[in-house]
């Protein structure tokens, strides 16, 4: 299985994934967060692993997050600010 459904809507920028107690930052590209459309038209929040990055059998996968609106727009954006290059 490459898709792991979440119990509640997350704050996407708060999602943390670890496999066997090793953190996997979203920037590494092993997984992504998305809303998966269901047959009834609802969307469920999920973490999806890239097929070539899927954890092996018996791996312990932990997904932690704060509650939020679930909007994927805020996923993996970090909290850095851009330098505009303007002088003080």
Per residue of the chain (88 residues), what is the pLDDT tens digit?
699 999 999 999 999 999 999 999 999 999 999 999 999 999 999 999 999 999 999 999 999 999 999 999 979 875 433 333 444 4
The answer to whether 26 and 56 are in contact (CB under 8 A) is no
Provide CB contacts within 8 A for 77, sequence distance 6+. 13
Q: What's the pLDDT score for residue 77?
A: 74
Q: What's the pLDDT score for residue 78?
A: 59
Q: What's the pLDDT score for residue 22?
A: 97
pTM given for the model: 0.81
């Amino acid at each position: 299985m490459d898709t792991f459904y979440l119990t509640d809507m997350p704050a996407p920028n708060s999602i943390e994934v670890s496999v066997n107690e090793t953190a996997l930052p979203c920037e590494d590209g092993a997984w992504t967060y998305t809303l998966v459309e269901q047959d009834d038209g609802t969307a469920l929040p999920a973490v999806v692993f890239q097929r070539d990055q899927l954890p092996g059998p018996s791996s312990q996968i932990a997904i932690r997050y704060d509650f939020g609106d679930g909007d994927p727009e805020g996923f993996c954006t970090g909290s850095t600010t851009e330098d505009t290059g303007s002088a003080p």
